[in-house]
Structure 1
Amino acid sequence: MNNFMNMKFLNKNMKNLPLPSNINLWWNMGSLLGTCLFIQLITGIFLTFHYNSCTNLAFESIIHISRNVNNGWIIRLIHANGASMFFLIVFLHISRGLFYGSYKLKKTWISGNIILLTLMATAFLGYVLPWGQMSFWGATVITNLLSAIPYLGMDIVNWIWGGFSVDKPTLSRFFSFHFILPFLILLISLIHITLLHEKGSSNPLGINSSQDKISFHPFFSIKDLMSLIFSSFMLLILIFYSPFLLMDPENFIQANSMVTPPHIQPEWYFLFAYAILRSIPNKLGGVIALLMSILIISTLSFSMKSKFQSTINYPINKMILWIIFNSTILLTWIGAQPVSEPYITTSQILTIIYFLQFILLPINTKIWDKFYN
């Protein structure tokens, strides 16, 4: 009875949650990400019923799920394409946060970045599980990056592999962690939401709108519902008309350690970081640049001492952010190209531009703050 009353109280509080009246559709991404996480958890659990993490049977188990299990094909396609949708919405969510200064909410922003890192790790582990050619060689290349760590690198790599190459122990471990990490993401997401509601949502104007708030339901619940319907419609179009559009053809060939694919590349949502990795000639330098390409977003919480929250008050910041967005898109395209000229030089130029903008952002903000004073 008490549990029922508590649920009723929480439901009522959620409906009456006060939110700034001027927030737009870009603030719907959080609810969409929650839905994506729920879909990935449910479909993932169903897939584990029939998946076999043995290297001799992993590839065949994927074929068995797609061909023999009732509705297994659609569960697998929702899970595989749902991951791409998940990352697309995550990138839009981060872009909105950058544009409207959400990094001013330090705890919320940093917890969000932890979710991003955990999500990327989960996606990488999941990409290895089909045990196709790109899965095997992608796992080999990415785990080998740890060998760049001085003195202990190769020992760490062998420890992760469970041997001297990517094999059955590696696949079993990756499967276990791919199953566990989504529940960790769920936990951190709950912390993220709690931290967000401590100070409340930001808004496009970046001002304190404590006197101008309206309830979540029905004003914003309708917007969330419309966004959910639209996103679901787009996902279903992808699944039913081009289900393998975002998958690498090499991954439809069973893993073979004796045959190397002509061009090894990760999924599209890792390509920008992969391009940055390849642009650095030194292996250790490339690994550091790869990590910093993601971690640098967290530094804005400490480097941006802006007087105002939204970039509306900083015209040049808008231009800088658009340069970051465009350079990320171009790096994603270059990451899918062969390691040859002119792509190598172009990726090096874009890498410099990408990191330079994160230095220019706080500098420009200080200049404009002096101008406003």
Structure 2
Amino acid sequence: MSSDHSTYQPTSGLGKWVDSRLPLPRLVHDSFVSYPVPRNLNYAYTFGGILMVMLVVQILTGVVLAMHYAADTAIAFQSVEKIMRDVNSGWLLRYMHANGASFFFVAVYLHIARGMYYGSYKAPREILWILGVVILLLMMATAFMGYVLPWGQMSFWGATVITGFFTAFPGIGEPIQQLLLGGFAVDNPTLNRFFSLHYLLPFMITGVVILHVWALHVTGQTNPTGVEVKSKTDTVPFTPYATVKDALAMSIFLIVFAYFIFFMPNYLGHADNYIPADALKTPAHIVPEWYFLPFYAILRAITFDVGPIDSKLGGVLAMFGSIAVLFVLPWLDTSKVRSAVYRPWYKLFFWIFVANAIFLGWLGAKPAEGVYTALAQISTLYYFGFFLVILPVLGLVETPKRLPNSITEAVLAKKAGNGGAAAAAAASPETRG
């Protein structure tokens, strides 16, 4: 797909002049107009475009907010309130940025789930998948540092707890924590460091996103069947076929986003963050933002020692391991069939995994005591078991359904039913040969 000859033709003298010196219009045309995509893409494939829009929203609102924010513990909280009250449309910018982080994670989690369901991480797209996981890590770091900036109670104590995780590592833990904090406790140097990094990381994310899109255009887009493109009849131009789908899904997504901004702006936040940070007053229940709750539950699920590894270090390793395992996912799945559509057992275990991840998020918001701890341990066991046991074994013992010979055959079968599938199979060059 990526080797197709460019169809861009400049229509004016200026266009020809620019194209011969800096072929940016050609790049845009080849990437977003004539670029061939599988003809059976569904709405699950629209979250990549949504994420691009949300990244632009976050960068633009963040740049303007940074013009009015003061990274000083004495006035940081007041500067945020000033933005809300005195800056023209400051309340809108702040709510767009804060809720935008949540909706960014909604889209990226759905994007990852789609990739897992349709096997988008399998060869030859391993680097494409790894770059996506790198983007997820950078997003998490950016979101955590941004949550500290309002300098409310949950900001302060969240930073204290999260940076305290590094002390679990013997020898190197405390120096790393002090480097992050700029001292021995969360204070003004910490706020300055986090503000600088929070401003920088989105531009790093943009760079990795460019690599991610580049890798996508080299290997080509996957599709719900998991069958590679075999002929031009399997594809359609990106515009208008994919753009119309993207535009509709993006419109619905942005309508929901706008509803939260204007009618429920603080629903996804925490009330304690409207209280100025106080190092002498600990909140009753310290919790991170909702998009970190599944990993927070995994951290707290490890309440026992494993040999020389105590429970604190074990919890930190499990939390980081829950992300690290995604990097090796392409090699853990031993099945040669990509799509869950043709893997009945994998489809079952996948949906259990999704329900388990949501359940972990719910447990992360609960106190780490009693039955909640036991349930978190069971859910954590399934989380890692899915990657380390179920996927490798399932690929060896599962009998998948018959794959279509081509994307076109799958499309015709869906339109015409079983009779159409038989006719399409009979007409297919592969079956005739």
Please tell me the residue identity of whatever aligns with 1:362: P
Please tell me the residue identity of whatever aligns with 1:149: F
Partner of 2:351: 322
Which of 181, 184, 205 pairs up with 1:185? 205
Is 1:11 paired with 2:46? no
123-132 or 357-366, larger mean C-alpha shift = 357-366
Which of 107, 127, 144 pairs up with 1:89? 107
Provide Cα deviations, 1:223-249, integer angstroms capped at 9, x if missing partner. 111111111110111111111001100
Which of 158, 169, 183 pairs up with 2:189? 169
Partner of 1:134: 154
Following superposition, the deviation at residue 265 of structure 1 comes to 0.4
Is 1:44 paired with 2:62? yes
Question: Aligned equivalents of 1:227 and 1:5: distance in 2?
Answer: 33
SS of equivalent to 1:218: helix
Following superposition, the deviation at residue 109 of structure 1 comes to 0.4
Partner of 2:316: 287
Asked if the contact 2:153–2:274 (Cα under 8 Å) also holds between the matched residues in 1, the reply is: yes
Provide Cα deviations, 1:43-83, integer angstroms capped at 9, x if missing partner. 00000000000000110000000000000000000000010
Partner of 1:153: 173
Matches within 5 A, 1:1-373: 1-2=17-18, 6-13=23-30, 14-104=32-122, 105-211=125-231, 212-281=234-303, 282-358=311-387, 359-368=389-398
SS of equivalent to 2:239: coil
Following superposition, the deviation at residue 371 of structure 1 comes to 10
Question: Aligned equivalents of 1:188 and 1:294: distance in 2?
Answer: 18
Provide Cα deviations, 1:11-70, integer angstroms capped at 9, x if missing partner. 321200000000101101000000000000000000000000000011000000000000
Asked if the contact 1:29–1:89 (Cα under 8 Å) also holds between the matched residues in 2, the reply is: yes
SS of equivalent to 2:244: helix
Question: Aligned equivalents of 1:160 and 1:307: distance in 2?
Answer: 44
Aligned-residue sequence identity (percent) comes to 43
Question: Aligned equivalents of 1:34 and 1:99: distance in 2?
Answer: 21
Question: Aligned equivalents of 1:143 and 1:232: distance in 2?
Answer: 34
Following superposition, the deviation at residue 306 of structure 1 comes to 2.0
Question: Aligned equivalents of 1:33 and 1:349: distance in 2?
Answer: 32
Following superposition, the deviation at residue 350 of structure 1 comes to 0.8
Asked if the contact 2:343–2:400 (Cα under 8 Å) also holds between the matched residues in 1, the reply is: no
Q: CA RMSD in A?
A: 1.4
Q: Judging changes above 3 Å, is the alpha-carbon distance between structure 1 residues 23 and 371 closer, same or farther for their aligned structure 2 residues?
A: closer
Provide Cα deviations, 1:118-144, integer angstroms capped at 9, x if missing partner. 110000000000000000000000000
Structure 2 unaligned runs (5+)? 1-16, 304-310, 403-433
Question: Aligned equivalents of 2:24 and 2:173: distance in 1?
Answer: 50
Asked if the contact 1:20–1:210 (Cα under 8 Å) also holds between the matched residues in 2, the reply is: no
Partner of 2:7: none
Q: Judging changes above 3 Å, is the alpha-carbon distance between structure 1 residues 11 and 268 closer, same or farther for their aligned structure 2 residues?
A: same
Question: Aligned equivalents of 1:160 and 1:300: distance in 2?
Answer: 30
Q: Judging changes above 3 Å, is the alpha-carbon distance between structure 1 residues 7 and 155 closer, same or farther for their aligned structure 2 residues?
A: closer
Question: Aligned equivalents of 1:52 and 1:182: distance in 2?
Answer: 19
Asked if the contact 1:119–1:185 (Cα under 8 Å) also holds between the matched residues in 2, the reply is: yes
Following superposition, the deviation at residue 101 of structure 1 comes to 0.2
SS of equivalent to 2:398: helix
Question: Aligned equivalents of 1:221 and 1:313: distance in 2?
Answer: 27
Please tell me the residue identity of whatever aligns with 2:279: S
SS of equivalent to 1:219: helix
Question: Aligned equivalents of 1:156 and 1:123: distance in 2?
Answer: 20
Provide Cα deviations, 1:118-172, integer angstroms capped at 9, x if missing partner. 1100000000000000000000000000001111211221222111100000000
Provide Cα deviations, 1:257-290, integer angstroms capped at 9, x if missing partner. 0000000000000000000000112010000100
SS of equivalent to 1:328: helix
Following superposition, the deviation at residue 209 of structure 1 comes to 2.2
TM-score when scaled to structure 2?
0.84
Question: Aligned equivalents of 2:275 and 2:147: distance in 1?
Answer: 14
Question: Aligned equivalents of 1:87 and 1:147: distance in 2?
Answer: 28
Question: Aligned equivalents of 1:285 and 1:31: distance in 2?
Answer: 38
TM-score when scaled to structure 1?
0.97
Question: Aligned equivalents of 1:342 and 1:370: distance in 2?
Answer: 38
Following superposition, the deviation at residue 370 of structure 1 comes to 9.7
Q: Judging changes above 3 Å, is the alpha-carbon distance between structure 1 residues 5 and 176 closer, same or farther for their aligned structure 2 residues?
A: closer
Structure 1 unaligned runs (5+)? none
Asked if the contact 1:22–1:203 (Cα under 8 Å) also holds between the matched residues in 2, the reply is: yes
Give the structure, 1 or 2, with the largest relative contact order (CA under 8 Å, sep 6 or more).
1
Q: Judging changes above 3 Å, is the alpha-carbon distance between structure 1 residues 174 and 5 closer, same or farther for their aligned structure 2 residues?
A: closer
Following superposition, the deviation at residue 7 of structure 1 comes to 2.3
Asked if the contact 2:341–2:347 (Cα under 8 Å) also holds between the matched residues in 1, the reply is: yes
User: Which one has a bigger Cα radius of gyration?
Assistant: 2
Q: Judging changes above 3 Å, is the alpha-carbon distance between structure 1 residues 313 and 258 closer, same or farther for their aligned structure 2 residues?
A: same
Asked if the contact 2:343–2:401 (Cα under 8 Å) also holds between the matched residues in 1, the reply is: no
Asked if the contact 2:342–2:400 (Cα under 8 Å) also holds between the matched residues in 1, the reply is: no
SS of equivalent to 1:103: coil
